[in-house]
Structure 1
Amino acid sequence: MQVSQLKVANTELPSQEELVIAFAKKDIQGLFEASSIYASWHLSDYNILLLNKEKASELTLELETNNVDIASLESLPDISKPGVALFDMDSTLIEIECIDEIAKLAGVGEEVSEVTERAMQGDLDFEQSLRQRVGKLEGAPDSILEQVRVKLPVMDEAELLIDGLKSLGWKVALASGGFTYFSDSLKETLGLDYARSNQLEIFDGVLTGKVLGDVVSAETKAEVLRELRDKYGIDKSNSVAVGDGANDLVMMEEAGLGVAYHAKPKVVEQAQTAVKYSSLGGVLCILSASSVIQQIKK
């Protein structure tokens, strides 16, 4: 992860609780009073500002109008030390909800996508809703899985984010309520260290409408994060969880930093910070503040 063009305007930093960063793929300096800016820098195509939290909060509506992200730094990891990042898959590392795409090919698209949306909003129990949706796939040929996999759209800047994390020596993993057919492929494509998701039961080339074993639930995702931290000897404060749905909230609470990515309103409200407008590189923007603050304090 390479920070460039760092310009420090004020070396007298308040506590991190009193700081935020703003970031976007355009010049945003003119939106803020010069006195509220402590530093500016670039990361890839992003312009990033380190700001006084109170003064930045006065511009919330204007920043939203201009699609500028603001992120709290209260729980910022120390990226100079080893860490682990755990991601949701559907609508986070990839652009789609796999089960919705499978359902379309199986001829039950509308009824399944409606249940998916309600589950992601937190209106339905995730495990029950997943079994209900998978049940509607009974009798469909397993060849439809490959039709979805070959067109699997990786989220914009996923490679940038994962390569950046790995350059820091971090471990990168995914835990998903989706399916192994796709998560195993994504693990290989993106070079992830670990992946866990659900396995669809297939018999004689046909989906049975069942999931093998226990469903990867919200609690399972949190357990995966704990297991990875224990395995690699990483402090909770240096763990990050990124997701978009209500079933990602427990995982985020288990992390030192939980990031809601293009998430449902309930998730944005409860997560420690959020990326609303930027691509996945926005997560790197947040983490880069750790390096910048350390440089300023030297």
Structure 2
Amino acid sequence: MGNTLYFNDLSENIDSWQGLPLSLNGCEVVPLDYNAGKTGWIIYGKKLNKTLLSQFQSKLAMPIVIVSSWKIKNYQVVRIAGVMPKKSQEIANELEIDVSIIDNLPSLHSEGLLIMDMDSTAIEIECIDEIAKRHGSGELVSKITEKAMRGEMDFSTSLRKRVATLKGADITILESIRDKLPITQGLSFLVRELHKRKWKIAIVSGGFTYFADHLKEKFKLAEVYANQLDINNSQRLTGKIKGQIVDAKFKAKTLQNLASQFNIPIEQTVAIGDGANDLMMIRIAGLGVSYHGKPKVVQKAKIGINYADLTGLICILSASLDSEG
């Protein structure tokens, strides 16, 4: 390609670009002899192409060095050299794409552990809200759920209050929800890719075992932990929880216990969730990720997936393969 390259020479499809690394600054494109090592950050998205990347760079108002690019399913991933500028997340939000730092990522070359929240992460609903809607206490429960997820109410207290409103609900309500459980897009791909690499996957949820056990069987998960609804002899909910409540502390402790059980270094662990009760496990994991998180979680998590589906987690982790050469 030589030393001269023009912006118009580049295809809209970034993955077909030759001559990387290169510096992009407006219409100026300069191929570089550059070794980025393990540093840098990534931009990724389904609609990421030359035009969108150029818009991102223009809004950033500084040159970016494009180290490499690759595809994960229908997502384009671009690795950028250097430290991710503070403005990057704001610009990504404007363009509805995702960005992530890639320093000290767990490696897909080694076995690892993924701990997932269930409701609004592995599945697209809050199960307790769905039960309540069908039992007639939906509006009240939704308000309490939102407060808990935003961290405005103690999770254990909020759970007991919500479950109390379900007293008398027939188990057929749970069955109908379980039979049509809306799996989050990208979950099957995520599980399949991690299983290929001998990763362990567990769900640790403030939701209910009735649904978590179903996911364990469906996706061959290593472990699931969730709250157990008390059901009487008439197959109706009593409005109570059986046993210990799965709260933020339980989630964090379970991550540590499972890492020890499976002999996986904490640096090789990932925690992903959307609510305030996920923050503790997100903080202690080797990689903690907010997934379409509530404002408090987005604010406090170092990495967030805001627009991609769960395929985005593989987009992030795949950067470990690129940086390791």
Name the TM tier (shorter chain): over 0.9
Change in 2 beyond 3 A, CA 1:222/1:48: same
The within-5 A match list for 1:1-298 is: 8-9=20-21, 11-13=34-36, 16=39, 19-30=40-51, 31-32=53-54, 35-54=64-83, 57-204=86-233, 205-295=235-325
Paired with 1:61 and 1:218, the residues of 2 have a C-alpha distance of 29
Paired with 1:162 and 1:286, the residues of 2 have a C-alpha distance of 15
8 Å contact from structure 1 (residues 139, 206) kept in 2: yes
Change in 2 beyond 3 A, CA 1:249/1:59: closer
Q: Which moved more, 1:281-290 or 1:217-226?
A: 217-226
Secondary structure of the residue aligned to 1:237 is: helix
Paired with 1:201 and 1:148, the residues of 2 have a C-alpha distance of 17
Paired with 1:60 and 1:130, the residues of 2 have a C-alpha distance of 33
Secondary structure of the residue aligned to 1:288 is: helix
Deviation digits for residues 250-287 of structure 1, max 9, x if unmatched? 11112111000000111011112010000000000000
Q: What amino acid is aligned across from residue 63 of structure 1 in structure 2?
A: A
Paired with 1:230 and 1:55, the residues of 2 have a C-alpha distance of 33
TM-score of the superposed pair, with normalisation by structure 2: 0.85
Paired with 1:51 and 1:58, the residues of 2 have a C-alpha distance of 14
Q: Which moved more, 1:95-104 or 1:43-52?
A: 43-52
Larger radius of gyration: 2
Change in 2 beyond 3 A, CA 1:213/1:13: same
8 Å contact from structure 1 (residues 88, 242) kept in 2: yes
Secondary structure of the residue aligned to 2:76 is: strand
Q: Which runs of 5+ in 1 are unaligned?
A: none
Secondary structure of the residue aligned to 1:174 is: strand
1:193 deviation in Å? 1.1
Change in 2 beyond 3 A, CA 1:208/1:93: same
Q: Which moved more, 1:269-278 or 1:62-71?
A: 62-71
Secondary structure of the residue aligned to 1:36 is: strand
Paired with 1:236 and 1:59, the residues of 2 have a C-alpha distance of 28
RCO greater where, 1 or 2, for CA within 8 Å and sep 6 or more? 1
1:52 deviation in Å? 3.1
Q: What amino acid is aligned across from residue 252 of structure 1 in structure 2?
A: I
Q: Which moved more, 1:90-99 or 1:180-189?
A: 180-189
Q: Which moved more, 1:269-278 or 1:21-30?
A: 21-30
Change in 2 beyond 3 A, CA 1:263/1:58: closer
1:62 deviation in Å? 3.7
Paired residue total: 290
Paired with 1:38 and 1:280, the residues of 2 have a C-alpha distance of 24
1:202 deviation in Å? 0.5
Paired with 1:257 and 1:134, the residues of 2 have a C-alpha distance of 32
Q: What amino acid is aligned across from residue 91 of structure 1 in structure 2?
A: S
Q: What amino acid is aligned across from residue 81 of structure 1 in structure 2?
A: S
Secondary structure of the residue aligned to 1:38 is: strand
Q: Which moved more, 1:21-30 or 1:231-240?
A: 21-30
Q: Which runs of 5+ in 2 are unaligned?
A: 1-14, 22-32, 58-62
TM-score of the superposed pair, with normalisation by structure 1: 0.92
Paired with 1:5 and 1:184, the residues of 2 have a C-alpha distance of 43
Secondary structure of the residue aligned to 1:266 is: helix
Paired with 1:257 and 1:62, the residues of 2 have a C-alpha distance of 23
1:75 deviation in Å? 3.4
Q: What amino acid is aligned across from residue 143 of structure 1 in structure 2?
A: T
8 Å contact from structure 1 (residues 6, 42) kept in 2: no
Paired with 1:220 and 1:171, the residues of 2 have a C-alpha distance of 19
1:78 deviation in Å? 1.6
Change in 2 beyond 3 A, CA 1:59/1:274: closer
Change in 2 beyond 3 A, CA 1:211/1:5: farther
1:29 deviation in Å? 3.6
